[in-house]
A and B are shown apart, each in its own frame.
Chain A
Amino acid sequence: MSKIIVMTSGKGGVGKTTSSAAFATGLALRGFKTVVIDFDVGLRNLDLVMGCERRVVFDFINVINGEAKLNQALIKDKRIENLYILPTSQTRDKDALTREGVEKVLNELSKDFDYILCDSPAGIERGALMSLYFADHAIIVTNPEVSSVRDSDRILGVLNSRSRRAEQGLEPVTQQLLLTRYDPERVEKGEMLKVDDVLEILAIPLLGVIPESQAVLRASNVGMPVILDEVSNAGLAYSDAVGRFLGEDIEHRFVTPQKKGLFSRLLRRSA
């Protein structure tokens, strides 16, 4: 029986797809058979971030509608063993996501996979609701910024009231915070909310802090999940977060400004 994870945030542009790609890759790297599903019907981008956009033939909606078999739509990652992508439709809209259809696909996937990662669209409408409905675990992607924190709180409320686990009175969906685009230097100057501030406000456990990093844009440019960039802070931070998700005790890195040596100061170079 597989575990269903939803990567969600309420607000758009905070790094859900980047995090989904990185997280799914991280789980597969540790040997778990993992599939990552794009729920952003009509605005698909997971395929681009994963670098498989030219291999999309059938999609999630085709499978829901019975127009294609699941294994025709699943794309096997070329780099990582155990990693699969289920892209979504670029032409349909979110109404194509029926609860029965999504459930059918998830049930079929759960026979084969250890982890099913659902990449939620922004908002709290159908697409987002469907992506979180069947979840066992939720990873809340948040930027240290007022609108993102407020929207995350909203989505936590939705998870607690409108997920399957909430509706059926089962054990609640576990919730963990992934704080992305964190800039320790701005935090030190008092220009950005601290990790502890966000934790105090949202009151959920911390899964990881991903530092603001140029590596994220570089990785998406070339269609590579940033976790595969093993020299970047962001890649390492995602790797740590995956470890923590699996129960390892890993200290948080990149939450304080890195001391720059005279040499790098002179060259004004940043990692």
Chain B
Amino acid sequence: MSIFNFFRAAPRASAVQAKERLQIVMAHERAGRSGPDYLPMLQQELLAVIAKYVNIDENKVEVKLDRGGDCSTLEVNIELPAREQAKAAAAAKTAEKSAGNDVGAAKRPAGGAVGNGGAKKRI
């Protein structure tokens, strides 16, 4: 060992990094595993319905299922496009105040069927 090594700060133990990296990656994988596999399909179908009425960006949709102790939350976040700039200014007073807002969030009891609660509109 050279004398210089003595003064150098000890590097962070690699085993500690291994543990942290594993915990992060596995938290993700476990969440994906326990999630029901209808989520991607649900997301697509929801999109298709909404796209019939509103012009939405496919990439700005997020479907998430969180499992809590006694209640699971199905959260659907769809970002509605800002109205075309010209219209937006004129219609600002009368139009629904949905531009740029998130829509959706349906709650359901754990294990129950989706749709037990009505979708709430957060404005």
Contact = CB atoms under 8 A, between A and B. Distances in A.
A153 interface: yes
B18 to A, nearest CB: 5
A146 B33 CA distance: 19
Interface string B11-25: 001111011011101
B22 A187 contact: no
Interface residues of B, number: 14
A150 B25 contact: yes
Q: Is chain A's interface secondary structure helix, strand, loop, or mixed overall?
A: helix
Contacts of A197: 15, 18-19
Interface residues of A, number: 17
Contacts of B84: none
Does more than half of chain B's interface fall in helix, strand or loop, or is it mixed? helix
A193 B15 contact: yes
A191 B19 CA distance: 11
Given A154-B29, A193-B15, 16 more contacts: A146-B18, A146-B21, A149-B22, A150-B22, A150-B25, A150-B26, A150-B29, A153-B26, A153-B30, A189-B13, A190-B13, A190-B16, A191-B15, A193-B19, A194-B15, A197-B19
16 contacts: A146-B22, A150-B22, A150-B29, A153-B29, A154-B29, A157-B33, A190-B14, A192-B15, A193-B15, A193-B19, A197-B15, A197-B18, A197-B19, A201-B22, A201-B23, A201-B26
